[in-house]
Amino acid sequence: MTDALYAVAGNPVLPSMSPALFRAALAGMPTGGAYVRLAARSACEALRFAMQAPLAGMNVTAPFKEEMAALVQAGDEAVRTTGAVNVVVNRDGALEGYNTDCVGVVGALTAQGCNPAGKRALVFGAGGAAKAAAYALKSAGASSVVMLNRTLSRAQAAAARLGCSAAPLGELSRRLEEADILVSCVPRALSALPGLSLSSRLVVLDADYHGSSLELFARESGCWVVSGRDWLLHQAVGTHLLFAGTSAPLQSLADALAPSVPRPWHKRNVALLGFMGAGKTAVGPLVAARLGFGFVDSDQEIQKSAGVDVHAIFEQRGEQGFREIESAVVRRLESAVQTVFSLGGGAFTTADNFERTCRNAMVVWLWADADTCWARAADGTRPLLGSSEQAHALMSARTAAYGRAADLVIDTTSAAPGEIANRIVDEIRNAQRA
């Protein structure tokens, strides 16, 4: 589907490298498409966005994998067995869930020369990723799979579901002496594994692909380390097949994971975009205050420059004249530092504005459905918004550009400006710490 929109949903989600992977894949497809990070409060909220945006497909990351499995139709045996979903595909309004984490684990290990068949495996964790790892290892012929978790009852419940074993953390040392493979699926695993000692013969795979302390410790211990990025890469191969029906360009995906690829939270400014009524003017000053940044509202700057309100600008100069003044405001991003820009809904109608904004700011798309935006903005002050039908048509026309630009999407439909601002800032802070 041309201009199809895809996303990865999680909380937090800004550190996710899935957009780099799938944008690289989409760039090589004749149909194209856009891929964004969706900061959601729940799997239900993510599904609402998926249906109304609408999304063609969605990746699911922590903490929504198990919650999502209860909300969508299971599309494969891995979902039915693990009760965890990491991919949702929209098939003409029917949402189907799949689990490509399973093929990702085995793909990562075998690509690095480790065949799990006949090996003894430990899985640390009991959430969606851990269940996928245990299921994958068992399916690949591991001679034993033991799940460990800080809460033993969770490990026991997961192991019972998967047909493997569970053990308390107190048995970690003994279990490690017997194991051939350790797969960690918990954040900051090293601090959660007391007195950890690793044999140099152990194969270690950490789902955390941001250079975890466990991965570093394993390398220092002489272990055979398989990077979490390899897991991400190989699950993306399976996901791309579900999204596009074709094999993924593996080398393009691998190149997209290179450390040199820019990360959006490293940019010096923040730009809020979205449709009229999405909340940019209310949220922008709050984000700026919480970050200690300056704030620029493009509509206010346009009116200040023209000396008249927006309606008068449209009457006197037309939309073209308005866009010319707007572009002058957007050009200020070139020299701005630590500034939050609230941009008008049509700011990306020119390629220069699009490129300049994406180059100089982390772009946050504030999204609300067309009916909500119409209800908020139907006050007679929006020259391009004359009816509900016009709102729907205009939003549909702009969605592709928003999707191509956005580093982060937040649904503003049912959240107050202060909460939205807090979520944006929390996402940035989490990404900076990752």
Catalytic residues: 65
Number of Cβ atoms within 10 Å of the Cβ of 232: 21
Task: List strands edge to edge, sheet with 181-184.
Answer: 165-167, 144-148, 120-124, 181-184, 203-206, 224-226
CA dihedral sign, ordered 172, 165, 104, 56: negative
In whole angstroms, give the CA distance from residue 336 to residue 238.
Answer: 41
In whole angstroms, give the CA distance from residue 262 to residue 316.
Answer: 42
228 Cβ contact list (under 8 Å, min separation 6): 205, 206, 207, 208, 209, 210, 212, 215
Residue 8 has, within 13 A of its CA and on its CB side, a CA count of 25
Nearest CA to 410 out of 366, 370, 369 is that of: 366
Q: What is 252-296 written as a DSSP string?
A: HHHHHT-TTS--GGGSSEEEEE-STTSSHHHHHHHHHHHHT-EEE
The two structure tokens encoding residue 308: 């008249």
Strand blocks (E) in 49-207: 57-60, 73-74, 87-91, 94-98, 120-124, 144-148, 165-167, 181-184, 203-206
The two structure tokens encoding residue 404: 């191509």
| Angstrom distances, CA of residue 286 to CA of 39, 289, 297, 392 | 18, 5, 12, 28
Nearest CA to 167 out of 136, 209, 134, 191 is that of: 134
Q: Is residue 168 reached through a cis peptide bond, with omega within 30 degrees of 0 on the bond before it?
A: no
Helices (H), 367-411: 370-377, 388-405
Number of Cβ atoms within 10 Å of the Cβ of 126: 26
Nearest CA to 29 out of 5, 2, 53 is that of: 2
**Identity (one letter) of the amino acid at 60?**
V
In whole angstroms, give the CA distance from residue 196 to residue 53.
Answer: 46
CB of 281 closer than 8 Å to CB of 299: yes
